[in-house]
């Protein structure tokens, strides 16, 4: 009959010996296995027979010497409340013990088989020996209990668990990327739906293939430490402040990708960076910049050396030897996707060396007006109509008409495409529409008009036509000052489309309405 070895867990030892954060209240039972093996366990332990259960004194003393450092380890608060004094008490108890035998009973529940000490008249110290040698001596998680049976005697010994062979890092998962780009920047004018499109791509990639993605937004003061990781003060379980290495989004996704890479079914893991050029990317990426060069397998062509902090973090998270974490490479299942809007005033330029490491995906100004679902069915994304100055206006046609005037050579503004407005420049899906796609209530219509004033008109006033306001807002002639936003807003509310010129409706709005409706017919919407 085979002997048994079980691990000592935090749920078994007395509370003060528990590792912080582990579950369990300190139950006195030792878990052996499934109740389906009850007959096998009962036969081995032979509770009703002449079997003697004992601990080996020399083994316990040797074990205590091995784990002495773990009692001292309390200095970094790994355990609930143990100290070197507890070690000395345990050592003295074992060293002076004359007998280390105890009595056992089986104590199963509905599904599991447990054993526990029992006090008897023949051995009144049974429970005390069991408590002080098995529940107040071993260190949980790193200790295993070995049971060896010889004739009618079962000897219990404590030993340090041999660590499982550390799995090696694997950068080539052979994940089938299909046509997905590893490093990709999606760019286009404001409101073209870059973030929405990229989010859908992330969901398609990760949900279908059971992966994950994390979104981060760059801004002017965003730092390398925030992106990769750094030491930060955190509050421990005792309410005390201590410093720990806290990973940033880059390392979090990197770890997830490497964990997945060594499984039989690797999955994709995406780091999604919004507004990548609103930060100084060379500073934020730092040495990680070197990793963006990928070979034909999708792995970083060049590795970088890791800092001691990062090396220790990776070794712990990935359960590998620290030597394996001395360098970093991006695995083939880690994707870095980003959005970029060159029209923003607060952006930083990207150097050529950085840009050449990315694939760029452009979303045109009107590309997302009509899209196709997974079944090939076309749909119109922007149907919203609103009322202004007693006139029914289609938002998507209006923004097309404004774009047409902005880019017109005849009217002299000639704005670059990155200054134009995409169909999602304002959010339309939050408004309830009636059967004819008109905003259903006056309150919501007023809200939408207010959004147009504060978002669209302000954008045109401040960012697009700062030096050409008189040309864009032709309808202001004699009605107010083109350089006063309050005047422009007032005329828009009272005159509607006339703000952009007396011929704006016929020359631009009507023309774009026909063009858009023709497009719908061609697309089969």
Q: Dump pLDDT digits (tens) for 398-431.
A: 999 999 999 887 766 788 888 899 999 999 989 9
CATH of residue 240: 3.40.50.300
Q: What pLDDT does residue 450 have?
A: 95
pLDDT of residue 142: 87
- In angstroms, the CA 25 to CA 109 distance is 17
Q: Kindly report, residue by residue over 272-290, the tens digit of the pLDDT.
A: 999 999 899 999 999 999 9
Question: Quick one: pLDDT at residue 164?
Answer: 61
Greater confidence (79 vs 395) lies with: 395
Mean pLDDT of 432-446: 95
Q: Would you say residue 217 has pLDDT above 60?
A: yes
* Mean of the per-residue pLDDT values of the chain: 89
Lowest mean pLDDT among 58-72, 227-241, 354-368: 227-241
Asked whether residue 110 is domain-assigned, the answer is yes
Same structural domain for residues 355 and 383? no
| Distance (Å, whole) CA 279 – CA 286 | 12
Residue 177 belongs to a domain? no
Q: pLDDT grade, residue 161 (50/70/90)? A: confident
Give the separation between CA 110 and CA 336, rounded to whole angstroms: 49
pLDDT > 80? residue 24: no
Contact call for residues 213 and 195 (beta carbons, < 8 A): no
The per-residue pLDDT for range 327-378, each reduced to its tens digit, is: 999 999 999 999 987 655 556 778 888 889 999 999 999 999 998 877 888 9
Would you say residue 372 lies in a domain? Answer: no
Average pLDDT over residues 295-316: 92
Average pLDDT for 138-162: 91
Q: What is the pLDDT of residue 292?
A: 95
Please, which pLDDT band fits residue 70 given cuts at 50, 70 and 90? confident
389 and 349 together in one domain: no
Residues of the domain holding 98? 4-160
Cα distances from 110 to residues 34, 36, 38, 43, 208, in angstroms, run 10, 10, 11, 19, 39
**The Cα angle at residue 23 between residues 22 and 27, in degrees rounded to 5:** 120
Q: Of 314, 330, 364, which marks where a domain is finished?
A: 364
Residues 130 and 18 grouped into a single domain:
yes
Q: Is residue 373 part of a domain?
A: no
Distance CA 71, CA 110 (A): 36
Could you tell me the pLDDT band of residue 163, with boundaries at 50, 70 and 90?
low
For residue 242, the model assigns a pLDDT of 76
Residue 259 pLDDT > 60, yes or no? yes
- Is 113 found in the same domain as 69? yes
In a domain, 240, yes or no: yes
Which of 103-112, 231-240, 353-362, 498-507 comes out lowest in average pLDDT?
Answer: 231-240
Question: CA 308 → CA 257, 312, 323, 326, distances in Å?
Answer: 21, 6, 11, 8
- Residues, the chain, total? 525
pTM above 0.85, yes or no: no
* 394 and 260 inside one domain: no
Query: Which residues, other chains included, contact 209 with Cβ-Cβ below 8 Å and sequence gap of 6+?
Result: 267, 268
Q: Are residues 433 and 501 in the same domain?
A: yes
Asked whether residue 334 falls in the same domain as residue 293, the answer is yes
Is a pLDDT exceeding 70 seen at residue 198?
yes
DSSP one-letter string for 171-237: S------TT--SEEEEE-STTS-HHHHHHHHHHHHHHHTT-EEEEEE--TT--HHHHHEEEEEEE-T
User: Does pLDDT of 269 surpass 70?
Assistant: yes
> Does 108 reside within a domain?
yes
HSE (side-chain half, CA atoms, 13 Å) at 510: 6
């Amino acid at each position: 009959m085979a002997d048994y070895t079980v691990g000592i867990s935090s749920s078994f030892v007395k509370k003060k010996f528990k590792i912080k954060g582990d579950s369990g209240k300190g139950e006195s039972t030792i878990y052996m296995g499934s109740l389906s093996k009850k007959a096998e366990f009962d036969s081995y332990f032979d509770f009703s027979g002449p079997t003697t259960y004992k601990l080996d004194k020399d083994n316990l003393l040797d074990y205590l010497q091995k784990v002495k450092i773990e009692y001292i380890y309390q200095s970094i608060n790994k355990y609930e409340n143990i100290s070197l004094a507890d070690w000395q008490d345990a050592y003295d108890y074992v060293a002076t013990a004359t007998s280390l035998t105890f009595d056992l009973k089986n104590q199963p529940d509905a599904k599991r088989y447990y054993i526990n000490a029992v006090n008897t008249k023949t051995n009144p110290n049974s429970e005390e020996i069991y408590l002080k040698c098995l529940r107040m001596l071993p260190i949980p998680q790193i200790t295993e209990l070995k049971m060896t049976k010889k004739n009618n005697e079962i000897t219990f010994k404590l030993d340090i668990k041999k660590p499982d062979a550390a799995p090696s890092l694997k950068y080539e998962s052979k994940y089938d990327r299909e046509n997905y780009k590893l490093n990709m920047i999606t760019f286009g004018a404001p409101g073209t739906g870059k973030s929405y499109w990229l989010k859908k791509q992330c969901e398609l990639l990760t949900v279908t293939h059971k992966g994950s993605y994390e979104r981060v937004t760059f801004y002017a003061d965003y730092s390398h430490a925030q992106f990769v990781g750094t030491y930060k003060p955190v509050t421990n379980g005792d309410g005390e402040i201590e410093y720990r290495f806290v990973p940033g989004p880059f390392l979090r996704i990197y770890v997830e990708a490497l964990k997945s890479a060594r499984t039989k079914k690797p999955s994709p893991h995406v780091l999604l960076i919004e507004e990548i050029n609103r930060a100084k990317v060379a500073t934020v990426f730092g040495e990680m910049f070197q990793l963006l060069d990928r070979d034909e397998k999708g792995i970083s062509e060049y590795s970088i050396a890791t800092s001691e902090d990062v090396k220790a973090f990776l070794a712990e998270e990935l359960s590998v030897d620290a030597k394996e974490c001395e360098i970093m490479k991006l695995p083939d299942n880690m994707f870095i996707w980003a959005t970029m809007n060159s029209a923003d005033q607060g952006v930083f330029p990207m150097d050529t060396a950085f840009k050449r490491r990315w694939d760029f995906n452009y979303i045109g100004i009107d590309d997302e007006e009509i899209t196709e679902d997974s079944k090939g069915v076309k749909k119109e994304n922007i149907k919203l109509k609103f009322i202004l100055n007693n006139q029914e206006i289609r938002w998507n046609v209006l923004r097309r008409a404004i774009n047409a005037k902005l880019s017109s050579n005849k009217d002299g503004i000639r704005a670059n495409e990155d200054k134009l407005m995409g169909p999602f420049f304002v959010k339309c899906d939050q408004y309830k529409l009636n059967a004819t796609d008109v905003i259903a209530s006056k309150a919501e219509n007023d809200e939408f008009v207010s959004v147009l004033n504060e978002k669209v008109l302000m954008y045109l006033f401040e960012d697009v036509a700062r030096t050409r306001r008189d040309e864009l807002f032709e309808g202001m002639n004699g009605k107010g000052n083109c350089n006063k936003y309050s005047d422009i807003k007032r005329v828009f509310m009272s005159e509607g489309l006339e703000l952009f010129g007396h011929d704006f409706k016929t020359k631009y709005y009507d023309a774009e309405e026909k063009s858009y409706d023709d497009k719908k017919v061609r697309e089969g919407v």
